[in-house]
Structures are given as C-alpha cells and as structure tokens.
C-alpha cells in the first residue's frame, strides 16, 4: 500500500499469504475476519519527523532521546527449571505506580519498595522505577481474572527500561475503570511483564553463560509459568530486535502447540549473517553500529566476568565490533566453529514458516541494523499466520514522529487490542492447505523433507 508523499510521510506495504488465516469472532453475530484485513485496519498512516528523514537519523535519535513514558516494575528472580541451561534470570512485572511516583521525573531514581533480592543472589544496579517483589507478594500473584497479558522481549543487552518497549506497554497499561475492577498488578485492562535476558537490566548471572540469539529456553519457562499462574488470561508476546529473533524462533519451535493468542515481531534482523555482513561492508555499519553494539556487549561481559571463566577476559578488552564479540564469546560458549556458523544457525528466517500463532511483523526498510535484504518476504508470504508491515522509513526501533511519539506503538497496540477484544483464538482452525503435503510435479515420492526448525546445533540428548 503506497501513500502520497509529504514531508515525513512514508509508504506502508503489507506482505502476506494469498490464502489468509481466518479469525473467528468472539461475538456470535460478528463476522470472521482475515488476518491481513485485521492488520491493515490496525495500521495507521506512517508520518515521521521530517527532520529525521533517513534510517540513520532515526536510529541516532534513539540513542540521544531517552525520554519516554514511565513504567513501574516489580522484579522476580527465576531459577531455570532445565538443568541444561542452569542459572537464574529475572522477569519484571508492570505494576501500578506507587503513591509518590508522580514526584519523580522520567528516568529519575525511585526508592519505593524492596530494593534487595529476597532470593539472595543479589543484583548490580536496578533500573529506574524497579523494585523486587517480596516473598509474600509472589505468593499472591495468582489470579483467575481474564485480563490479557503481554510478554515482552527486549533487544541486545537491553532490558525492561528500554524506551521503545515502554512506548508500546504504556498505552496498554493506562488505568481504566474496567481494569481497576478486574484487579491485577497494574489496575489496567492489560497486564505486562518483560523477560530480561540473562545478565541484563542489572541482574546477576549464576552460571558461566550469558545468552544468545537462539535463547528461547527462558521465555518458554515464563510462558508455561504464566499459563499455570493465570489459567484464564489470554497470552500475547512482543519481541524487539534480538528479542524479535528469539521470539520468532520460539514461535516456530512451539508451532501448533503454542499457547500464545498472538505475537508481534519488531525490527527483527532475521538472517543474522546477512545483517552482520551488511554492517561490515560500510563505514557507518562498522564504525558506528557494530562498534556501539560491541561496546555494549563488552561492558555486559565485564559486569559478569567473574562468572564467565571460560573466556579470556584480556581478549574481550581488545575487541571493537559485535561480530568479534560473537566470535570470541558465543562460539566458545555454545560450541559453534565460527561466528558465521552461529549466525546461520540462530537466524529466524526459516522459523517463520513454522509459526502457527497470528503474528504481525513491523519493519522499516531503511533500518541500518536489521537490513531489508535480510527480511524473509517470500517465506512470510507462504505462511497465512504471519503478516509483514514494512514502512519506507523509521530506522531501527525508532519510527519517531513529530513531537516525540513512536509510530510503531500505534499498530502494535491496535493489533493487540483487536486480537484480545474481537478474536476467539480458541476457535482458529489451520488452513487445509497447510496440513497437506504439496504435490510433487515430477510424480514421484520425495526423498527429502524440509523442516524449518531443524538446526545444526542441536541438543545432544535429543530432547526438545
């Protein structure tokens, strides 16, 4: 869908299957809707700040503009229930602001509540507006309410404090009379939590590994825990950048067993090797983006150097770029021979073929980090469960509008509300064409089977 041009206005295009997924209505009298139709109704025109007229300027502004809607969190420390991925990770639950929160500016310190970890593994420095749950509060978390819950995954070395993430969660968490009547943590129509990657957002690690671009084990544990804790809540998920790659992989791994009612994938690098090579072949890519990401990962490593003893710390101090960090840390930690092998194995471009959850993808075609050439447009058009919305501008996790708003929050919130309020996810039926093997034009039985989730780096014990 192309739109007429004026300063700041950019094109919006949709990519989806010609045989769309049909979404049944919650209302007995409501007509079913095709997933692409619902998405197009949820996506507004994209009018960006005309002063930020390309992907670089949009992305640079992300680093310099740290203001955003404040969200208060309570943190809980989880211990992995899978011995193969032993260790701890943290989850931040959105909560209603404490009584004195209005006196603090966005980004300022918030001292209300428990600052010490009741589990006892400690922390480095909690993000603003974040405190720990008490043990008693954790015991009372369970609920029989039907409020939808959004599970968020942040980008590389980020956390629940990220501004791009808060711009999406804040409208969902706006308090309403209906939400207050339903109770819950936030007093809103929605509940939200953020799964922090291991070692991120001020958390400590208790094993010798950080995380990687395929690290789906912690989010899987959280989703299962949420289903047990809140059996009647519809569950949704949103992932940003590296978190988007992890979420897409998780959705593919779960396939038709997914308990999520919907998902959003934002600024996914998709084909990690393609995105990495695109960064390496330009001055801006290497000297600015790859160096910045390499610096952030080196700082994260240094924070946890005492636990990550299998890596030569002196070599880490000499690296400059993200691919050098991955070569030195991810390959040695996870058993990959090279960074390229890691990138190819951890990419989610094929995973999109296995997704069986209604999913909206958001992408800016001028994204300098998650480059357009890495987007699996053809694969997306093969899967009725997935719709891609690609804008002509917006940069990486940016989409700044005039006045400081973030465009990506609008379609994300509208899509989630449309799914939660109007779609009966329990009655979605898989299109018949997807359950049938394609006919072989050569007329013989095919000796090969394409399995999008098969990976070269796999669990040696053969268990999922």
- What CATH code is carried by the domain that includes residue 36? 3.40.50.1820
Per-residue model confidence (pLDDT) at position 459: 83
Query: Are both 262 and 252 inside the same structural domain?
Result: yes
Domain-located, residue 386: yes
Query: Are both 369 and 295 inside the same structural domain?
Result: no
Q: Quick: pLDDT tens for 56-92.
A: 999 999 877 777 899 999 999 999 999 999 999 999 9
Query: What average pLDDT is seen over the chain?
Result: 90
Domain-located, residue 455: no
Mean pLDDT computed over 458-464: 69
Q: Quick: pLDDT tens for 261-311.
A: 999 999 999 999 999 999 999 999 999 999 999 999 999 999 999 999 889
Domain-located, residue 457: no
pLDDT higher than threshold 60 for residue 129:
yes
pLDDT higher than threshold 80 for residue 437:
no
The CA distance from 73 to 220, in Å, is 21
Cα atoms in the 13 Å half-sphere on the side-chain side of 67: 5
Written as one string, the DSSP assignment of 352-390 is: GGG--S-EEEEEETT-SSS-GGG--HHHHTT-TTEEEEE
The CA distance from 306 to 440, in Å, is 56
Hey, how many other C-beta atoms are within 10 angstroms of the C-beta on 317? 11
> What percent of the chain stands above pLDDT 70?
88
Query: Are both 160 and 306 inside the same structural domain?
Result: no
Domain-located, residue 165: yes
Q: What's the pTM value of the predicted model, to 2 decimals?
A: 0.92
Query: Are both 89 and 217 inside the same structural domain?
Result: yes
Rounded to a whole number of angstroms, the CA Rg of the chain reads 22
Distances in Å between the Cα of 326 and the Cα atoms of 18, 107, 310, 375 are 39, 31, 14, 21
Per-residue model confidence (pLDDT) at position 175: 63
Q: Which residues are catalytic?
A: 241, 367, 396
> What percent of the chain stands above pLDDT 90?
77
Query: Are both 148 and 214 inside the same structural domain?
Result: yes
Beta partners for residue 362, in sequence order:
266, 389
Cα atoms in the 13 Å half-sphere on the side-chain side of 443: 0
71 and 169 Cβ atoms separated by less than 8 Å:
yes
Query: Are both 155 and 78 inside the same structural domain?
Result: yes
Mean pLDDT computed over 422-440: 81
CA 79, 130, 264, 173 dihedral sign is positive
Domain-located, residue 404: yes
Per-residue model confidence (pLDDT) at position 104: 47
Confidence of residue 108 (pLDDT cuts 50, 70, 90): very low
CA 220 to chain centroid, in Å, comes to 13
Domain-located, residue 236: yes
Of 330, 346, 362, the position where a domain reaches its end is: 346
Total number of domains in the chain:
2
Domain-located, residue 244: yes
The number of residues in the chain equals: 464
Query: Are both 362 and 274 inside the same structural domain?
Result: yes
Any idea of the CA torsion for 122, 128, 129, 131, to the nearest 10 degrees? 0
Query: Are both 135 and 61 inside the same structural domain?
Result: yes
Confidence of residue 177 (pLDDT cuts 50, 70, 90): low
Domain-located, residue 132: yes
Query: Are both 192 and 51 inside the same structural domain?
Result: yes
Per-residue model confidence (pLDDT) at position 271: 98
Query: Are both 262 and 319 inside the same structural domain?
Result: no
Mean pLDDT computed over 87-108: 76
Per-residue buried b or exposed e for 275-293, using 16+ beta carbons within 10 Å of the residue's own CB? bbbbbeeeeebbebbbbeb
The CA distance from 381 to 20, in Å, is 10
Range of the domain at 262: 9-279+349-426
Query: Are both 190 and 330 inside the same structural domain?
Result: no
Query: Are both 409 and 297 inside the same structural domain?
Result: no
Q: Quick: pLDDT tens for 389-426.
A: 999 999 999 999 998 899 999 999 999 999 999 999 99
């Amino acid at each position: 869908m192309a739109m007429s041009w004026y300063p700041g206005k950019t094109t919006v295009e949709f990519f989806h299957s010609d045989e769309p997924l049909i979404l049944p209505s919650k209302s007995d009298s409501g007509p079913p809707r095709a997933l692409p139709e619902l998405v197009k109704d949820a996506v507004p025109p994209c009018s960006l700040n005309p002063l930020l007229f390309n992907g670089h300027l949009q992305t640079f502004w992300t680093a310099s503009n740290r203001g955003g809607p404040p969200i208060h969190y309570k943190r809980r420390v989880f211990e992995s229930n899978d011995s193969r991925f032993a260790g701890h990770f943290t989850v931040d639950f959105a909560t209603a602001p404490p009584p004195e929160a209005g006196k603090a500016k966005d980004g300022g310190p918030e001292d209300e509540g428990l600052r010490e970890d009741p589990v006892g593994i400690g922390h480095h420095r909690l993000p603003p507006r974040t405190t720990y749950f008490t043990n008693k509060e954790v015991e009372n978390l369970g609920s029989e309410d039907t409020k939808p819950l959004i599970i968020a995954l942040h980008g590389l070395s980020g956390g629940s404090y990220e501004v791009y993430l808060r711009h999406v969660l804040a409208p969902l968490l706006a308090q309403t009379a209906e939400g207050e009547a339903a109770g819950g943590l936030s007093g809103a129509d929605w509940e939200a939590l953020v799964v922090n990657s291991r070692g991120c957002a001020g958390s400590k690690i208790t094993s010798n590994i950080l995380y990687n671009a395929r690290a789906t084990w912690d989010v899987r544990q959280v989703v299962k825990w949420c289903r047990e804790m809140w059996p009647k809540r519809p569950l949704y998920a949103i992932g940003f950048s590296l978190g988007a790659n992890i979420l897409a992989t998780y959705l593919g791994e779960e396939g038709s067993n997914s308990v999520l009612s919907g998902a959003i994938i934002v600024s996914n690098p998709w084909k990690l090797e393609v995105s990495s090579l695109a960064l390496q072949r330009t001055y801006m890519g290497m000297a600015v983006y790859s160096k910045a990401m390499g610096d952030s990962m080196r700082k994260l490593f240094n924070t946890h150097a005492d636990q990550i003893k299998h890596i030569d710390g002196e070599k880490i101090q000499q690296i400059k770029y993200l691919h050098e960090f991955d070569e030195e840390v991810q390959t040695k930690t996870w058993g990959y021979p090279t960074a390229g092998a890691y990138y190819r194995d951890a990419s989610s471009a094929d995973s999109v073929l296995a997704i069986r959850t209604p999913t909206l993808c958001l992408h800016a075609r001028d994204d300098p980090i998650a480059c357009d050439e890495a987007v699996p447009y053809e694969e997306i058009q093969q899967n009725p469960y997935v719709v891609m919305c690609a804008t002509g501008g917006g940069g990486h996790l940016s989409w700044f509008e005039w006045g400081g708003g973030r465009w990506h929050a609008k379609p994300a919130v509208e899509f989630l509300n449309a799914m939660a309020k109007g779609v009966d996810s329990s009655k979605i039926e898989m299109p018949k064409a997807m359950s049938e093997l394609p006919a072989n034009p050569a007329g013989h039985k095919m000796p090969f089977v394409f399995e999008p989730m098969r990976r070269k780096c796999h669990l040696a014990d053969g268990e999922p």
